[in-house]
Chains A and B, each alone.
Chain A
Amino acid sequence: MATFYAQNVLGGLAYGSLLFLIAAGFTLIFGLMRIVNIAQTAFFLIGVYVGLMLLNHGVPFWVAVPIAGAAVAVLGLLIYRVLHPYHADELTSLLLTIGFTLMLEDAALAVWGGDPQSVPPPPALAFSVQLGTLVFPSYWLAMIGISLLIAAALFFVERRTTLGAVIRAGVDDEEMIRGLGIDVDRAFFIVFAIGAFLAGAGGLLGGPITGAYPGLDGELLPLAFAVIIIGGIGSLEGAYIGSLLIGLVGTFGKALFPQLSYFTIFVPVAAIMALRPQGLLGKKR
């Protein structure tokens, strides 16, 4: 019984940690620019594929991660150049990201084909650890740590740097910030690139857990939304806590109520929507 709980807690935390890498970028982009980036999970998908391609060419795992992230960041910037004039129009920018998602999904299929592919973890973490009666892949444990580190780094940037100040201020009042002479447009580009980078790097980091296949982005998108609703739009801490929560609920849901596991993820979501629409840690709008 203890093994059952331990396995599912760790599994849930690992999956939640993976979700954070998507949700973080999503919430940063939305928080600052009010853009609902539907393409965020498509960025993740491209990140896994690019990362896998790099691995197949012999690039070491930890080198491939930032490269994959950078590649997707470049892609993100190109997309943002089209989005930027519309960033104030929430609906148009959302619809544009939907259009881009359709394009990215099919482009990925054209380039990398439709076979589901597995992403090998870095050789140093390819073993499984034995914790009492529980056997658990070490990479999944590492995922929890990696995500925590990234979260910490993001919190640091948000709290202690000028960029972070602009982001936090921009979330509250864009006009005011512009009035102070701060180059908000540049901040927008940077943040979109960071959001895309996180998704892309997150793709390769998450790849050993999710694999790479057409439709991965579509499966992750509703989970990303669930995280954002629970954690609160625009809040990084909310994204982190929300991700772990969704990961845990999802995993236990599957173990205990397989036919309703999706539903069990969204019950807390619906509850938050009803009781506290701004999410656990979001700001009231």
Chain B
Amino acid sequence: MRRPADSGRRRALIGVIAAGGIVLATLVPAFGLPQYYVSLLTQTCIYGIAAMSLDLLVGFTGLVSFSHAAFFGTSAYITALLLTRYGVTSFWAALVLALFGAAALAALFGLLAFRGEGVSFIIITLALNEIIWGLAYQWVDMSGGDNGITGFQRPVIAGMHLTGTPAYYLFCLAALVVCAGLLVTIVRSPFGLVLRGIRERPRRMAALGYPVNRFRYAAYVIAAVFAGVAGVLFAYYNEFVGPVNLSLDTTVQILIMVILGGTGTLLGPLAGAGVVVFVSNALSNITQRWELILGAMYVVILLYARDGLVGIARRVWRAAGRRAPAAPTHPALARENPEAEP
């Protein structure tokens, strides 16, 4: 039986580590690394937000969504279009409109996606992703097609020019911290606990009177909004948006970050994002066959390290004699799961 002091101490430890991590991350630009690495860290922050938001669906709600890049990319496109075609200059205006667009798209997709469960959901979200991609690729008048949209600059916020690599990195880091904080709050909230219950025992939750599909729908839209945040950050980072940014390839890439990091952990997918960004860049430096190696790595990880990096960390932690806590779950299911924290 765990004593309350243990979990209090563990929480404090995690808090200290997190704070330390944030401070360290903030100081990275001062380390004198080539700008290129700071640039990769920026990508890690951006994709980290996207991956964490997908984890909200996959790891916490049990929804394997193959449409995530649709929201990431649509938000990026909206940002780019507003800046180049509609003369919007304010970052905040672009952000609000892009997030609204992502949410609206998710609301629309959700009407179709939740007509099926399990694999049907996967197939439908995949098809929806392809529809959006097809529009971006072919509706050239709107999206520029394969040429993409370019010709806009990084924002100026509160008088600060974010054009330089370190400046934009710090901005994305701040966004990551804010989004992570919000996501952690969501998963620990009563709403989050309901989602977890739905992931574990959907029929039970339905029997208890929860409108399961409505909660799923809500989670789907919320996740899309966070993916939208990542999309806006990405557009400014890349200064170029193209169909590939909402393609199935990108959806799969984000999903792999989640799986690699460990589903249902939020931190795991963030680490997963870092690994994927750095490894794919490092590999392509060494060999032309980097995609083959990456594919092989994914297969190996799926076979032998299914719960991802966090799972590996937990096993190491346990091997060292400590007990890792189980994830919290909905009170109604807690009785079946004595290790869980209510």
Return the contact of A91 from the options B64, B294, B303 (Cβ within 8 A). B64
> A102-B291, A106-B292, A221-B248 are known contacts. Are A228 and B112 too (CB-CB below 8 A)?
no
Pairwise interchain contact A99-B295, C-beta atoms closer than 8 A: yes
Q: A103-B296, A274-B111 are in contact. Are A222 and B135 (CB under 8 A)?
A: no
A213 interfacial contact with B, CB 8 Å? no
**A128 at the A/B interface (Cβ < 8 Å)?**
no
Name which residue of chain B comes closest to A273, CB basis.
B112
Contact indicator A102/B292 (Cβ below 8 Å): yes
Give a binary string over A109-135; 1 marks a CB under 8 Å from any B CB, 0 the rest. 010000000000000000000000000
Nearest CB of B to A168, in Å? 19
In the assembled complex, B141 has its CB within 8 A of some CB on chain A: yes
B302 engages A274 (CB within 8 Å): no
Interface majority SS (helix, strand, loop, mixed), chain B: helix
Chain B residues lying within 8 Å of A92, measured Cβ to Cβ, are 302, 306
Return chain B residues, CB-CB under 8 Å to A146.
none
The chain A residue sitting closest to B108, CB to CB, is A270
User: Once the chains are docked, how many angstroms separate the CA of A100 from the CA of B299?
Assistant: 7
Q: Are A98 and B298 in contact (CB under 8 A)?
A: yes
A258 to B133, CA, bound (A): 15
- Whole-angstrom CA separation of A107 from B292 in the bound complex: 7
Across-interface contacts of B275 in A (CB, < 8 A):
none
Q: How many residues of B are counted as interface, with CB atoms below 8 angstroms from the partner's CB atoms?
A: 43
Q: For chain A, residues 62 to 103, give those with C-beta under 8 angstroms from any C-beta of chain B.
A: 82, 90-92, 94-96, 98-103
Determine how close the nearest CB of chain A comes to the CB of B290; give it in whole angstroms: 8
Partner of B252, one of A30, A98, A106, A226: A98
With contacts A101-B295, A273-B115 taken as known, whether A233 is within 8 angstroms of B123 at the C-beta atoms is: yes
Asked whether B303 lies within 8 Å of A106 as measured between CB atoms, the reply is no
Q: Chain A 259-285, CB within 8 Å of chain B: the 1/0 string?
A: 111110110011001100100000001
- Bitwise, A215-236 to B at CB < 8 A (1) or not (0) is 0001001100110110001000
Bound-complex Cα distance A155 to B306 (A): 38
Among B4-12, B49-57, B124-132, B198-206, the one that faces the other chain is B124-132
Who on chain B is nearest to A105 by CB? Answer: B291
List residues of chain A with CB under 8 Å of any chain B CB: 30, 34, 36, 82, 90-92, 94-96, 98-103, 105-107, 110, 218, 221-222, 225-226, 228-229, 233, 258-263, 265-266, 269-270, 273-274, 277, 285
User: Which residues of B come within 8 Å of A, CB atoms?
Assistant: 64, 111-112, 115-120, 122-124, 126-128, 130-131, 133-135, 137-141, 248-249, 252, 255-256, 259, 288-289, 291-292, 294-296, 298-299, 302-303, 306
